[in-house]
């Protein structure tokens, strides 16, 4: 069994550990906590630790969540990458990923997720349980696709997007970078600006960036 | 202290119509910030004093027009923000950068206008003035000089500070069932902060309810101070706590710092704008735009000062900033909507103002002065 080090930067560690153990592809050798240092910063682990992982040929994976619009997870990923860790994608066996779809570093494909032919997924993007990425859709790096989402065919999500559970993105829709949509939202037309739909507020919020 | 305004001033639609003419149809209104209209043909639409207005950038010049087509009164620009020429989507009547009609139909016989008949067809244009990044519109046919509304000191500070506003911003707009004046009075009410916002207002602001020198020496019957238009705008300053609670934000190293660093500056721009500058590094602007006596459109935006270094996670900072402000504002609006219901059901009652509320009474006195000016002119 291949060896795996987990770097923990927030989120549901037990969930991820459970899926990895159930799959039996990797043996979790170590779980290391990463200290958070605020916006966009994570204290990298000691260089000697990463050097040891490299020497052993151990794979690394960074566990995080959607906090700070995915930047907490991204910062942790960048810290490990800068330290020379060999970061792998992880795909749960119950998921269905079409042939030819490339899974980049630190991509997480959760339980019962379907990734259909021609889909493109950026590094450090997480797709949570029961979601579907339609044919020829494109999802940028460091996105969070919550549970039960539907990304329709040819839809495009920019970098750092966050979709709450049950979000539906219609065919051919293009979401700008940083789009953040609350739970059970349906988008059928491409918004002209980055859109935030947060159930705490009465109206959508827009970022002009 | 005896109140200057009664419940009817907040609930009567007749009074509201007078107010639209006397205040919002006559004074300079904040209608945009320059980053909203940065590119050629960028536009913004909004309703000011009941009028549909479009602001549009043509080759770097921002002009304001009626957003109502002269043909069938349809709306010319449909989105709140966008980028397209001044062409009505209903029948494609097109207007140039000065609002003059330049095209009706490729076959002139469809309308049958002579050149002379179309020469004078143009969109009503409104006066525009800018201070720093702030874009003001005046709907009056004879707009007063903006210098009469905002004094030299205020204009100089706004020019200096908002001139450093970044081009990125975060924005939202929604309606609340309350009168705009209670919104402005609320921001002048320091005491509500430690009460209503006990759990949401950042603890590193020291809100000193008794520290406002404007009411020192006033007696309990309220003596109006200078109620001139320039004095209707007020500003304030809070110092950040120095006790170590102040968060250190890494991102502030990435933006230009204004000389008001370490302070929380507020400008209450009469009649309906609350502009805040936080620690010399960010701007928050709230506009209370009246739509009816009991209905106010809230506009809320946050921008940072211009970056001095690569700042890839700026949207995170803008979002976190807005969320923090909105959590506070949401509590205000929930309270003001309940207050509006109270006002409507208690027409025979009056507010009971305490000494600390002199700022509110100053606002009311200035407001009443402005309401009377048009009356006197007529």
The complex's ipTM works out to 0.89
Confidence band (pLDDT; 50, 70, 90) for A37? low
Please give the Cα distance from B158 to B300 (Å, whole number): 18
Q: Do B327 and A178 touch (CB under 8 A)?
A: no
Two tokens, residue A131: 């979601």
Range with the lowest mean pLDDT among A107-111, B5-9, B206-210, B367-371? B206-210
Return the half-sphere exposure (C-beta side, CA atoms, 13 A cut-off) of residue A163.
33
pLDDT in tens, A106-150: 999 999 999 999 999 999 999 999 999 999 999 999 999 999 999
Q: Do A139 and A151 meet the contact criterion of CB atoms below 8 Å apart? A: yes
Rounded average pLDDT over B79-85: 95
Return the half-sphere exposure (C-beta side, CA atoms, 13 A cut-off) of residue B146.
18
Per the omega criterion (within 30 degrees of 0), is the bond before B179 cis?
Answer: no
Nearest CA in chain A to B176: A202
DSSP assignments along B237-251, one per residue: EEEBP-SS-S---GG
Q: Do B1 and B350 meet the contact criterion of CB atoms below 8 Å apart? A: no
pLDDT of residue A50: 84
What are the residues of chain B with a beta carbon less than 8 Å away from any beta carbon of chain A? Answer: 35-36, 79, 81-82, 167-175, 248-251, 312-320, 322-323, 326-327, 330
Q: Do B250 and A41 touch (CB under 8 A)?
A: yes
Q: Do A192 and B320 touch (CB under 8 A)?
A: no
Q: Do B322 and A203 touch (CB under 8 A)?
A: no
- The CA distance from A71 to the nearest CA of chain B, in Å, is 8
Q: Do B222 and B1 meet the contact criterion of CB atoms below 8 Å apart? A: yes
- The CA distance from B84 to the nearest CA of chain A, in Å, is 13
φ, ψ for residue B377, nearest 5 deg: -65, -35
Two tokens, residue B27: 């004074």
Which residues of chain B lie closer than 8 angstroms to A71, CB-CB?
313, 316
Q: Where are the domains of chain A?
A: 2-82, 89-209
Any idea what DSSP says for residue B377? H
Closest C-alpha to B190, from B234, B156, B245, B150: B234
pLDDT of residue B237: 84
Q: Do A178 and A160 meet the contact criterion of CB atoms below 8 Å apart? A: yes
**Element holding A115 (H helix, E strand):** strand A114-115
pLDDT of residue A77: 93
- Please classify residue B137 by burial: count the beta carbons closer than 10 Å to its beta carbon, then call 0-12 exposed, 13-18 middle and 19+ buried: buried
Domains of chain B, CATH where assigned? 1-25+151-378 (3.90.380.10), 28-143 (2.102.10.10)
List the single residue in A40, A205, A209 with the smallest CB-CB distance to B172: A205
Confidence band (pLDDT; 50, 70, 90) for B77? very high
- The CA distance from A54 to the nearest CA of chain B, in Å, is 29
Q: Do A201 and B326 touch (CB under 8 A)?
A: yes
Beta-bridge partner residues of B283: B277, B303
Question: Within a 10 A sphere around the Cβ of A80, how many other Cβ atoms?
Answer: 26
Which residues of chain A lie closer than 8 angstroms to B81, CB-CB?
192-193, 206, 208
Two tokens, residue A74: 């991204």
Two tokens, residue B187: 């921001």
Any idea what DSSP says for residue B73? -
Q: Do A39 and B326 touch (CB under 8 A)?
A: no
**Element holding B31 (H helix, E strand):** strand B28-33
Q: Do A69 and B316 touch (CB under 8 A)?
A: yes
Helix (H, G, I), strand (E, B) or coil at B166: strand
Query: Which residues, at least 6 apart from A11, have a Cβ–Cβ distance to it below 8 Å?
Result: A63, A64, A65, A73
pLDDT of residue A36: 65
Which residues of chain B lie closer than 8 angstroms to A193, CB-CB?
81
Rounded average pLDDT over B175-179: 97
pLDDT averaged over every residue in chain A:
93
Which is more confidently placed, B237 or B32?
B32
Rounded average pLDDT over B242-270: 83
Helix (H, G, I), strand (E, B) or coil at A124: coil
Which residues of chain A lie closer than 8 angstroms to B327, CB-CB?
200
Confidence band (pLDDT; 50, 70, 90) for A51? confident
- The CA distance from A7 to the nearest CA of chain B, in Å, is 22
Interface A-B, measured as beta-carbon pairs within 8 A, has a size of: 78
Q: Do B315 and A209 touch (CB under 8 A)?
A: yes
Which residues of chain A lie closer than 8 angstroms to B35, CB-CB?
208
Judged by a CB distance cut-off of 8 A, whether residue A201 touches chain B is: yes
Please give the Cα distance from A25 to A4 (Å, whole number): 10
Helix (H, G, I), strand (E, B) or coil at A188: coil
pLDDT of residue B366: 92
Question: Within a 10 A sphere around the Cβ of B81, how many other Cβ atoms?
Answer: 17
A162: left (phi over 0), alpha (psi -120 to 50) or beta: beta
Which residues of chain A lie closer than 8 angstroms to B297, CB-CB?
none
| Range list of H helices, chain B | 8-11, 13-19, 115-119, 146-149, 152-162, 180-187, 192-196, 229-232, 314-345, 358-377
Please give the Cα distance from B306 to B165 (Å, whole number): 6
pLDDT of residue B248: 64
- For chain A, how many residues are written? 209
Q: Do B171 and A206 meet the contact criterion of CB atoms below 8 Å apart? A: yes
Any idea what DSSP says for residue A200? T
pLDDT above 70 for A103: yes
B269-303 in b/e form (b: 16+ CB < 10 A) is bbbbbbbbbbbbbbbbbbbbbbebbbbbbbbbbbb
Rounded average pLDDT over B354-369: 90
Confidence band (pLDDT; 50, 70, 90) for B200? confident
Closest C-alpha to B55, from B80, B73, B74, B75: B80
Judged by a CB distance cut-off of 8 A, whether residue A39 touches chain B is: yes
pLDDT of residue A180: 97
Give helix then strand counts, H and E, for chain B.
10, 15
Please give the Cα distance from B248 to B225 (Å, whole number): 40
CATH, domain range A89-209 = 2.160.10.10
List the single residue in B175, B316, B330 with the smallest CB-CB distance to A71: B316
pLDDT averaged over every residue in chain B:
90
Q: Do B315 and A68 touch (CB under 8 A)?
A: no
Judged by a CB distance cut-off of 8 A, whether residue A43 touches chain B is: no
Confidence band (pLDDT; 50, 70, 90) for B85? very high
Please give the Cα distance from A201 to A177 (Å, whole number): 21
Which residues of chain A lie closer than 8 angstroms to B317, CB-CB?
39
Please give the Cα distance from B263 to A159 (Å, whole number): 35
Q: Do A168 and A152 meet the contact criterion of CB atoms below 8 Å apart? A: yes
Question: Distance from CA of residue A3 to its chain's centroid?
Answer: 21
- The CA distance from B174 to the nearest CA of chain A, in Å, is 6
Could you give the C-alpha distances from B318 to A41, B33, B169, B247, B300, in angstroms and in order? 17, 16, 7, 16, 12
Q: Do A207 and B318 touch (CB under 8 A)?
A: yes
Question: Distance from CA of residue A199 to its chain's centroid?
Answer: 22
Rounded average pLDDT over A97-106: 98
pLDDT above 60 for B204: no
List the single residue in A39, A160, A207 with the smallest CB-CB distance to B250: A39
Q: Which of B311, B315, B336 to mutate to test the interface with A (most CBs of A within 10 A)?
A: B315
Confidence band (pLDDT; 50, 70, 90) for B217? very low
pLDDT of residue B210: 58
Fold of A2-82: Rossmann fold (3.40.50)
Q: Which of B57, B81, B170 to mutate to test the interface with A (most CBs of A within 10 A)?
A: B170
Please give the Cα distance from B297 to B28 (Å, whole number): 17
């Amino acid at each position: 069994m291949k060896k795996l080090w987990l770097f923990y930067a927030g989120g549901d560690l037990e969930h991820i550990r459970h899926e990895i153990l159930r799959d039996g592809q990797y043996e979790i050798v170590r779980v290391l906590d990463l200290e958070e240092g605020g916006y966009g910063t994570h204290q990298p682990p000691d260089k000697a630790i990463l050097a040891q992982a490299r020497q052993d040929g151990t794979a690394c994976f960074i566990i995080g969540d959607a906090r700070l619009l995915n930047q907490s997870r991204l910062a942790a990923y960048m810290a490990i990458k800068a330290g020379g860790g060999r970061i792998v994608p992880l795909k749960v066996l119950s998921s269905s990923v079409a042939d030819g779809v490339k899974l980049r570093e630190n991509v997480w494909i959760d339980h019962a997720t379907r990734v259909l032919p021609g889909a493109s997924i950026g590094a450090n993007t997480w797709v949570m349980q029961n979601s579907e990425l339609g044919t020829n859709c494109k999802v940028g790096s460091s996105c969070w696709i919550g549970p039960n989402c539907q990304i329709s065919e040819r839809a495009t999500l920019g970098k750092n997007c966050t979709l709450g559970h049950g979000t539906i993105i219609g065919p051919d829709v293009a979401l700008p970078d940083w789009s953040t949509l609350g739970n059970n939202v349906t988008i059928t037309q491409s918004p002209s600006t980055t859109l935030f739909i947060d159930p705490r507020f009465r109206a959508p919020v827009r970022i002009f960036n | 202290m005896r109140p200057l305004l009664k419940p009817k001033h907040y609930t009567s639609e007749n009074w509201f119509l007078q107010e639209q003419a006397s205040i919002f149809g006559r004074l300079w209104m904040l209608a945009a910030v320059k980053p909203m209209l940065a590119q050629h043909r960028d536009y913004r639409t909004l309703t000011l004093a009941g009028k549909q207005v479009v602001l549009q950038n043509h080759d770097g010049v921002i002009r304001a027009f009626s957003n109502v087509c002269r043909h069938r009164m349809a709306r010319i620009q449909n989105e709140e923000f966008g980028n397209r020429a001044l062409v009505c989507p209903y029948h494609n009547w097109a207007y140039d950068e000065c609002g003059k009609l330049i095209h009706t139909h490729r076959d002139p016989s469809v309308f049958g206008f002579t050149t002379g008949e179309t020469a004078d067809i143009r969109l009503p244009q409104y006066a525009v003035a800018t201070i720093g990044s702030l874009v003001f519109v005046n709907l009056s046919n004879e707009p007063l000089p903006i210098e009469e509304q905002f004094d030299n000191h205020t204009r100089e500070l706004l020019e200096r500070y908002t001139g450093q506003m970044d081009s990125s911003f975060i924005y939202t707009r929604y309606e609340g069932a309350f009168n705009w004046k209670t919104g402005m009075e609320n921001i002048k009410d320091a005491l509500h902060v430690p009460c209503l916002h006990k759990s949401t207002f950042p603890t590193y602001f020291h809100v000193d309810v008794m520290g406002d020198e404007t009411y020192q020496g006033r007696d309990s019957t309220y003596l109006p101070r200078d109620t001139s238009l320039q004095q209707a705008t007020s500003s304030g300053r809070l110092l950040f706590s120095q006790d170590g609670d102040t968060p250190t934000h890494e991102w502030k190293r990435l933006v230009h710092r204004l000389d008001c660093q370490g302070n929380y500056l507020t400008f209450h721009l009469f009649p309906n704008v609350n502009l805040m500058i936080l620690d010399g590094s960010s701007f928050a602007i709230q506009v209370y735009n009246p739509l009816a006596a009991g209905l106010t459109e809230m506009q809320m935006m946050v921008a940072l000062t211009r970056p001095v270094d690569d700042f890839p996670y700026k949207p995170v900072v803008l979002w976190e900033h807005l969320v923090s402000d909105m959590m506070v504002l949401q509590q205000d609006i929930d309270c003001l909507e309940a207050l509006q219901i109270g006002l409507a059901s208690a027409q025979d009652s009056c507010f009971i103002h305490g000494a600390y509320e002199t700022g509110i009474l100053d606002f009311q006195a200035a407001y009443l002065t402005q309401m009377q000016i048009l009356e006197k002119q007529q």
